[in-house]
Amino acid sequence: MRPPPTGWPRLSCSIFYNRAALAIPWLCEAFGFEVQLRVDGEHGDIAHSQLIYGEALIMVSEGGEHRPQRFGVPLRSPLAVGGANTQSVMIYVDDVDAHHARAREAGARIAVAPRVEDYGPQYWTDKSYGALDLEGHLWWFVERVRG
């Protein structure tokens, strides 16, 4: 298997918001992302962006009924579909308690408070929490406790 292009992880994801221009700074404040690239669209929307957290990369842009279909499929925020999520993002952090406090302070809705999940001595133990962002995307932040 060839390595991915320089500066790109093997896996990244795209997340769509009704108001991506508001979501990007919030994601940086609440969850600790950094803006690597931001491409503004013609009408004040976000055509494309890349946010990084360590070696993780997410792409954030506009979705919604007011936007034409991209890639041949409709792209929606959970806010536009009654809060439904069809996937969630999981990111490893160094200190899940500190991360949780930061997210809560910034207004993230905590779906699952920090808790330890022990998968047994032959596997691992993680401490994690789940949070909903401004438009209802579910995020999981995890710290490896025993590995």
Q: Domains, the chain, ranges and CATH?
A: 13-64+87-146 (3.10.180.10)
138 pLDDT more than 90: yes
Q: Tens of pLDDT along 50-96?
A: 999 999 999 999 886 666 556 677 888 998 889 999 889 999 999 99
pLDDT of residue 44: 82
Whole-model pTM: value is 0.90
Average of per-residue pLDDT values in the chain: 92
Sign of CA dihedral 60, 63, 68, 73: positive
Higher pLDDT, 79 or 37: 37
Q: Tens of pLDDT along 99-136?
A: 999 999 999 999 999 999 999 999 999 999 999 999 99
pLDDT of residue 45: 86
Q: Which tokens belong to 3?
A: 């390595």
Q: Which tokens belong to 113?
A: 């408070």
123 contact partners, CB below 8 Å, separation of at least 6: none
